[in-house]
Amino acid sequence: MTNSDFWQLPQLRLGDLELDFPVVQAALSGYSDGPMRLLARRLGASYALCEVMLDQMVLTCGKKTRRMMQVSDEEQPVGGQLMGSKPEDFGPAAMRLVEAGFRVIDINFGCPVKKVLGRCRGGYLLSQPEIALEIVSRVRDAVPAELPVTVKMRKGMDDTNESKEKFFTILDGAFARGVAAVTVHGRSVQQRYIGPSNWNFLKEVKEFLGERTLLGSGDLFSAEDCLRMMQETGVDGVTVARGAIGNPWIFREARALAAGKPLPAPPTVYEQREVISEHYRLADEYYGEDRGNRIMRKFGIKYAQLHPDPIAVRDAFVRIRHPGSWQKVIEQWYSEDRPGLRPSPPTDLGCGVNATKKGKQDNKNLSTAGACSEE
């Protein structure tokens, strides 16, 4: 790591909430549910965000949303994220999240999914600074002053100057209205996941913000990436997204590196077995056996990347049809302790955003179709 002798790990604060480590679990629609957040926290994330929720869904509060709004004491502090289009719905929805136990309310101005944009939500609001800032005001006014409100943004709608101006209007205006921190994903909405996340842009944003808190997002697939983003851009913290799916150990590895220790070896097969089994147990408790089993298929596929026989294990997880049969996969593939593999960055465009038709279909089959399955 360059300049590590002179570089100090940032102290991440979200308003009054002081976090003990600047690497956190990002919001991930269809993934960052209770079980994933809990495991991320146990393995070293200092904070985790729930998958995005639609304001309307929070207000009508059906069964699925009630489950999404469940927060356990062990995972605190946990953030709830809202997405919508009408400023007047955001305040009451934010209050529902506060009542449910979320300690931070995050507002989504980043989702690039076509349907979401078509409904004037998520990333669309980056083109509408007035509405976006009205939403920020409504949420900040509704939520008790001691709870932080934060915003998630992409770097703009596209790469035009007009889009950049709007980005900075929203960014500056959001802080002026009392948000505690902003997370920026260094890709534009138009870009979706094509091409790299622009870390230079994150650096420019941090220079503009000065002391105000910025978290960075985009292309964090290893513990080294997490530290490197903070070092190269000056952001106060990073949010790990695709890099944490099936690899919650990334947080413990980042903690080790930040403490000046060598990068730990990837988890062995036995260590993987323990976490995967616990993930199944938590999913079962959270969703019930059938749904838990279906949801765990997509996690199993990601966990398989760390196994020394990744392809065979991935196929075994894909073939699981009946609740309980995952134990057979564990017995067959996880009963001999061997060194694990380090997962490589996605070669497609990542979960739910694959470029190929087949990839899209696979993801459709596996997706739990959250409010913003980027997503």
Ligand X SMILES: Cc1cc2nc3c(=O)[nH]c(=O)nc-3n(C[C@H](O)[C@H](O)[C@H](O)COP(=O)(O)O)c2cc1C
| Catalytic (active-site) positions | 111
Binding to ligand X by residue 185, rule CB under 6 A? yes
Phi-psi region of 61 (alpha: psi -120 to 50; beta: other; left: phi over 0): left
Q: How many residues does the chain have?
A: 375
Q: Which is nearer to ligand X, 107 or 257 (CB)?
A: 107
CA distances from 162 to 197, 262, 354 (A): 20, 45, 29
Binding to ligand X by residue 230, rule CB under 6 A? no
Residues numbered 133 to 162 that lie near ligand X (CB under 6 A) are 152
Which span (10-18, 256-264, 271-279, 346-354) binds ligand X, by CB under 6 A?
346-354
Binding to ligand X by residue 241, rule CB under 6 A? yes
Q: Which is nearer to ligand X, 177 or 302 (CB)?
A: 302
Neighbours of 244 (CB within 10 A): 28
Radius of gyration of the chain (CA): 20
Q: Indicate the pairing of strand 13-14 with strand 181-185.
A: unpaired
Residue 117 Cβ vs ligand X, minimum distance, rounded to whole Å: 14
Pick one of 80, 243, 300, 340: the residue that binds ligand X (CB under 6 A): 243
Binding to ligand X by residue 350, rule CB under 6 A? yes
Paired with 103 in beta bridges are: none
Which span (71-79, 260-268, 271-279, 347-355) binds ligand X, by CB under 6 A?
347-355
CA dihedral sign of residues 214, 219, 225, 229:
negative
Residues numbered 103 to 122 that lie near ligand X (CB under 6 A) are 108, 110
Residue 157 Cβ vs ligand X, minimum distance, rounded to whole Å: 16
- 297 three-state secondary structure: helix
Residue 349 Cβ vs ligand X, minimum distance, rounded to whole Å: 8
Residue 327 Cβ vs ligand X, minimum distance, rounded to whole Å: 27
Pick one of 103, 138, 155, 242: the residue that binds ligand X (CB under 6 A): 242
Q: Which is nearer to ligand X, 30 or 77 (CB)?
A: 30
Contact 269, 308 (CB under 8 A): yes
Residue 369 Cβ vs ligand X, minimum distance, rounded to whole Å: 11
Q: Which is nearer to ligand X, 249 or 333 (CB)?
A: 249
- 102 three-state secondary structure: coil
Which span (237-245, 272-280, 306-314, 318-326) binds ligand X, by CB under 6 A?
237-245
Binding to ligand X by residue 219, rule CB under 6 A? yes
Alpha helices (H) in 288-340, listed in sequence order: 289-303, 310-319, 326-333
Q: Is the peptide bond before 308 cis (omega within 30 degrees of 0)?
A: no
Binding to ligand X by residue 170, rule CB under 6 A? no
Which span (90-98, 203-211, 212-220, 316-324) binds ligand X, by CB under 6 A?
212-220
Q: Position of tokens 């949303």?
A: 65
Binding to ligand X by residue 55, rule CB under 6 A? no
Q: Position of tokens 């534009």?
A: 188
What are the residues whose beta carbons fall under 8 Å from the beta carbon of 362, sequence distance 6 or more?
354
- 98 three-state secondary structure: helix
Neighbours of 228 (CB within 10 A): 17
Binding residues for ligand X, rule CB under 6 A, total 28
Structure tokens at 83: 């997405």
Q: Which residues bind ligand X (CB under 6 A)?
A: 26-31, 51-52, 81, 108, 110, 152, 185, 197, 217-220, 241-243, 350-353, 372, 374-375
